[in-house]
Amino acid sequence: MTRLSLLLSMLVIGSALFVVHSQYQTRRLFMSLETAHKEAKRLEVEQDRLQVERGTQATPLRVEKVARQQLQMRTASPAITQYVSIKESAAVPKEARP
């Protein structure tokens, strides 16, 4: 009878330790899951912010402003346009003609 009691006591203690270990693992995994959810939410907010910023940067008015200020570009007008015309005889060398 004492052996049976001792065996049952050991099984109860072993199962109690297993339950404690399982609860610890569950809490640890739950915290990891919550951390991953927070990171996903943060990345989602960051993506939304970057999309808004990209939309702001790509407006035609802003592109024109950057072109004028940083690249010193100006609007094309007939007064500053140069036209190039190539005569056919000058464009193709004599060796290449059939």
50: alpha, beta or left? (left if phi > 0; alpha if psi -120 to 50): alpha
d(CA 18, CA 15): 5
pLDDT at 95: 60
User: What is the sign of the dihedral through the CA atoms of 66, 67, 69 and 71?
Assistant: positive
pLDDT at 85: 85
Residue 89 reports pLDDT greater than 90? no
What mean pLDDT is predicted for residues 29-57?
96
Structure tokens at 42: 């943060």
Residue 18 reports pLDDT greater than 90? yes
What is the distance of C-alpha 75 from the center of its chain? 36
Alpha helices in the chain (DSSP H): 2-57, 60-69, 88-91
Query: Worst-scoring range by mean pLDDT, 20-24, 71-75, 79-83, 93-97?
Result: 93-97
Mean pLDDT score across all residues of the chain: 88
